[in-house]
Amino acid sequence: MTTTPRRIQRKRTPGWVSPDNTVYVGRPTVFGNPFDWKEVGRAKAVAMYRDWLAGKLDDHFPDLVERRQAILERLPELRGRNQSCWCPLEAPCHADVLLPLANQDMSEITTKMQSKSSHGGRRPGAGRKPQGERPKERKTYTLAPDVVERINVLSDETGHSKAAVIEYAVRSLKKLPHNLE
Across-strand partners of 148?
none
pLDDT for 158: 74
Mean pLDDT within 84-107: 88
Query: Is the pLDDT score of 155 beyond 90?
Result: no
- Predicted local distance difference test score (pLDDT) of residue 63: 84
Judge whether residue 162 has pLDDT over 50: yes
pLDDT band at 152 (very low <50, low <70, confident <90, very high): confident
The 10s digit of each residue's pLDDT in 96-149 is: 999 999 888 655 544 444 444 444 444 444 445 555 566 556 556 566 777 777
When pLDDT is cut at 50, 70 and 90, the band that residue 160 belongs to is: confident
Q: What is the pLDDT of residues 32-58, one digit of tens each?
A: 999 999 999 999 999 999 999 988 888
For the chain, how far is it from start to end, CA to CA, in angstroms? Answer: 33
State the chain's mean pLDDT as an integer: 77
- Torsional sign, CA 84, 78, 101, 27: positive
pLDDT of residue 176: 47
Cα 88 to Cα 96: distance, rounded to the nearest angstrom: 12
Beta-strand ranges (E) seen in the chain are 7-9, 22-24, 82-85
Rounded to the nearest angstrom, the gap between the alpha carbon of residue 2 and the centroid of all alpha carbons in its chain is 22
Exposed / middle / buried, residue 74 (Cβ in 10 Å: 0-12, 13-18, 19+): middle
